[in-house]
Structure 1
Amino acid sequence: MGGGMFTRIAIYHVPAGDLGAFGARWLGWDIAQGHVSAQTGELYPAQAEVTARPRRYGLHATIKPPFRLAGRASFAALSQAMEKLCAQLEPVTLSGLEIARMGRFLALLPKGGVDGLNALAARVVVDLDEFRAPLSAAELDRRRKGRLSPSKASNLLRWGYPHVMQDFRFHITLTGPLDDETAGRVYTSLRSHLSELVSGPYPVDSLSLVGEDDQGHFHEIERYPLASVP
């Protein structure tokens, strides 16, 4: 699948295996296959409601946030640069993942040290930035409405997104914003389904080039193994 059909491109870590399959069922969108996944409500009665906001993104952790290709950049060149970069990046194994509050959201957050993971994300942001078109004035104004800290405001101007570099926090979003009572109920339900899937060490051993279609859904275009991964 080429990149011409997509409005924006991003670099994600897309969970595979049983966790990836659960994510498709939970969010209602299979980013790897690029199609809707039925939400039956068996995982949580109001499943469709609490996952409405993150659904179009699919289960993922953002590494380089969505961007438009720069005017002179080609998708083919980006793909080649991505492949070359991933061949140089060492995989990172996290101690595990845990369900936790992140602001008003529930997400999977890493256990243990994250220095290697943060360094990996920073390298991707920097090395592929030549392919990113600058934000428009309207996009900058919209982002600034979030009352950014000085470092996040600086990131926005330099890298096109506030939550990168020193402000990066690896997370796999599971819900939209929830009140405390609803968050407690959803947490209990998710823990019963996810505990075994995230209890052991978690390898970040691949990155994916993803694209946003004209309906706002993200699709995995290509997955690249990191160095030393067969």
Structure 2
Amino acid sequence: MAEGGAFRRYGIYVVPEGEFYEAASAWLGWDTAAGVTLPHPEVEGLPGDPADLTATPRKYGFHGTIKPPFRLAEGTDAEALDAAARAFCDDRPPVEIPALEVRRLGGFVAIVPAEPSPALSGLAGATVAALDAFRAPPSGAELARRRKSGLTDRQDRLLRDWGYPYVMEEFRFHLTLTGKLPLDDAETARAALARHFAPLLPAPFRIASLCLVGEDAEGLFHLVHRYTLAG
């Protein structure tokens, strides 16, 4: 596992714990906390091999993005980011989500809150803003890549202001389970994964910590520090 400044990007994630995390990490094939690959489980009714279905999200591990991955700004370092993230979390209370469900979001499948959570959206927006001094501005190539997906004027403004188009009021919390699939395959995968995860979805789902994660030279993300939401 890389240490400190050896990571090329950092982000702030919700990383669940316990049996829920272990099962979802096995599904993806990568454990960010342990930094090891895992064998995929057998899941009935899938439209393809789990290794293929999870190829895109695997490197990120099982997580919900709060502050999207960013390169460190000039003049900052990982130690200062760690201290700022810890201080921020010390002042923020936990968030409780009454229920989760497996849902198809366009062409990919994710676990999401069954109902919108203003408290979680507020936490995400505050995190993005509080730690933004550590984010290097996106390059022209990064901006162009993001804009290829077709952004609204507001999303483009968020991209310029915060380095990512799906923050603040555009934020939608999700724990990704598959890459983008044809719609029929995505629906088939959703149904299979809903059955697979049904006994594992915590109700309520209590977000009691945020995690600093880092991307290593191979593009794999690792859990660097976990901060208790102690406010």
TM-score, normalising length from structure 1? Answer: 0.95
The one of 103, 119, 126 equivalent to 1:116 is 119
Q: RMSD in angstroms over aligned alpha carbons?
A: 1.4
**Counterparts of 1:174 and 1:83 in 2: how far apart (Å)?**
28
For 1:59, the equivalent position in structure 2 comes to 62
Matched residue count: 228
Shift of 1:42: 4.7
Amino acid paired to 1:16:
E
Residue 146 of structure 2 corresponds to residue 169 of structure 1: no
Q: Is the CA contact (8 Å cut-off) linking 2:33 and 2:223 kept in structure 1?
A: yes
Sequence identity, in percent?
Answer: 44
Residue 34 of structure 2 corresponds to residue 36 of structure 1: no
For 2:139, the equivalent position in structure 1 comes to 136
Residue 16 of structure 2 corresponds to residue 15 of structure 1: yes
SS of the counterpart of 2:210?
Answer: strand
Q: Within 5 A, what are the aligned runs for 1:1-230? A: 2-42=3-43, 44=46, 46-198=49-201, 200-227=203-230
Shift of 1:130: 0.3
Shift of 1:41: 3.8
**Counterparts of 1:198 and 1:75 in 2: how far apart (Å)?**
33
Q: Deviations over 1:157-183 (max 9, x none)?
A: 000000000100000000011123322
SS of the counterpart of 1:33?
Answer: coil
SS of the counterpart of 1:101?
Answer: strand
In structure 1, the gaps of 5 or more residues are none
**Counterparts of 1:112 and 1:68 in 2: how far apart (Å)?**
32
**Counterparts of 1:12 and 1:22 in 2: how far apart (Å)?**
18
Amino acid paired to 2:154:
S
159-168 or 105-114: which moved more? 105-114
Q: Is the CA contact (8 Å cut-off) linking 2:98 and 2:205 kept in structure 1?
A: yes
SS of the counterpart of 1:4?
Answer: helix
SS of the counterpart of 1:143?
Answer: helix
**Counterparts of 1:39 and 1:121 in 2: how far apart (Å)?**
30
Q: Deviations over 1:56-88 (max 9, x none)?
A: 000000000000001100111110000000011
In structure 2, the gaps of 5 or more residues are none
43-52 or 29-38: which moved more? 43-52
SS of the counterpart of 1:203?
Answer: strand
